[in-house]
Structure 1
Amino acid sequence: MYRLGGIILVVILSITLQNCGEDEKKEVKEIEKIVEIAAAEPEYFLLRPEVEKAYGYSHAVKIGNNIKVSGAVSMDDGGNPTAMGDLEQQMKNCYADLEEILTHFGCTFDDVVVENIFTTDMKKMLEVAAYRNELYKNHYPTGTWVEVKGLALPEFMIEIELEVHHSGERVSLRDD
């Protein structure tokens, strides 16, 4: 008799637990239906509007907390190559443009998660790469360095593209 009662109790408990699990699943599905994530509208940024319109690209696009930055090359505001034959100066010019884009979006090089570098002279690039230590003070992003036969114009020796993740507000530790 006790055995039969124990079996009945086990059956009742398992049915009750199954029903509880189903109720929880229903609640989760209800909550999933209620939560809607608004799609972020892309924000386009043109560093040199006339040049970028002529070549048909945007220098950066921000969607949500993520920013894709087109490859920066060493050029003036008219789209003319600068620092011809000087890879180190071209690299510094690229990073100056990239910093201007990051600043526009309220970011720094600390927000960069991917940095891809394309160069026509990897040997020289490796000789001047230490300059990056001045930019990436806390950590380095992931990335790829590739030696290529040529870039958009024959005078360009380096092109640097970025992917950025900006998680939001910054806390200043300074007493300004």
Structure 2
Amino acid sequence: MNPTKPTQTEKPEYFSLRPEVEKAYGYSHAVKIGNIIKVSGAVSMDDEGGPTAVGDFLQQMKNCYSDLDQVLKHYGCSFDDVVVENVFTTDMPAFLEHAGYRNTIYTKHFPTGSWLEVKGLALPEFLIEIELEVHVSHE
């Protein structure tokens, strides 16, 4: 059996970081099936879903990682467990300028992933969105 592929009997475990916002937009922040966790893209928002750190790329990036850290901790994980990180940004030069910040997040190894420049994100104030896939190596 493939240890990274969930079996038919494993029930998804859903987690909402901001339940009201997630319900309004129609998504769950994370879903765990077996030893895999899929984490929706985090953006720089407050608890009501409004954009924060408008115009400040680095602070938006830090806010994304802060939310992702909360989701990981809910499952007893850390950034060491992340196997895929996909970054979506409306400003690739700004991301590249601040990509070194990721060295403070991923201190043991970097995950696989893609960096994509996009025309827009959910709200025009959002400059970056980061989604993760996690492999839980402990139970």
Tell me the TM-score normalized by structure 2: 0.93
- Match for residue 112 of structure 1? 82
| Stretches of structure 1 lacking an aligned partner (at least 5 in a row) | 1-36, 170-176
1:89-141 Cα offsets, whole Å, 9 max, x none, are 00000000000000000000000000000000000100111111011011000
1:48-93 Cα offsets, whole Å, 9 max, x none, are 0000000010000000000000000000000000000011100000
Describe the SS at the equivalent of 1:160. strand
**Hey, which bits of structure 1, 4+ residues long, moved more than 6 A?**
none
From 9, 16, 23, give the equivalent of 1:39: 9
- Match for residue 4 of structure 2? none
CA RMSD of aligned residues (A): 1.0
Distance 2:31 2:8 in 1: 18
| Stretches of structure 2 lacking an aligned partner (at least 5 in a row) | 1-6
Higher helix share: 1
Q: Which structure 2 residues correspond to residues 76-95 of structure 1 after superposition, within 5 A?
A: 76-95=46-65
- Match for residue 161 of structure 1? 131
The residue identity in structure 1 corresponding to 2:124 is P
- Match for residue 41 of structure 2? 71
Q: Determine which structure has greater relative contact order: mean sequence separation of CA pairs < 8 Å that are 6+ residues apart, divided by chain length.
A: 2
Give identity over the alignment, percent. 74
Question: How many equivalent pairs are there?
Answer: 133
Higher strand share: 2
Tell me the TM-score normalized by structure 1: 0.74
